[in-house]
Amino acid sequence: MMDNDIPSNMIFRDPLRILLAREAKTCKGCTHQYRDRIFNQDIVVCTKTDVNGKRRHHGRRCKDYNEV
């Protein structure tokens, strides 16, 4: 990890805390995440829908996050 990648408020903290804070923002490992390979390219989408029936944007952790 480079110093440029670490936010300034976390520079002198425990590396494990930095890693956990970074992973807490993503939806990697969620049960609603679906991965498929289309035209030789990996596509990852969220299968959870909101109240209007639209799919959520993949990448940001939402309130419906569940670990595998």
8 A C-beta contact, residue 64 and residue 48: yes
Q: Is the dihedral of CA 47, 63, 26, 19 positive or negative?
A: negative
Task: Provide the number of structural domains found in the chain.
Answer: 1
Using alpha carbons, select from 53, 51, 48 the residue that is nearest to residue 64. Answer: 48
Main-chain dihedrals φ then ψ at residue 20, nearest 5 degrees = -65, -40
Average pLDDT over the chain, rounded to an integer: 81
Residue 6 lies in a domain: no
> Does 3 reside within a domain?
no
Residues spanned by the domain of 35: 27-68
How much is the pLDDT for 17?
Answer: 86
- Is 46 a member of any domain? yes
Is pTM beyond 0.85? Reply is no
Q: What is the pLDDT of residues 46-64, one digit of tens each?
A: 888 878 888 777 788 887 7
Taking a C-beta distance cutoff of 8 angstroms, is the pair 50, 12 a contact? no
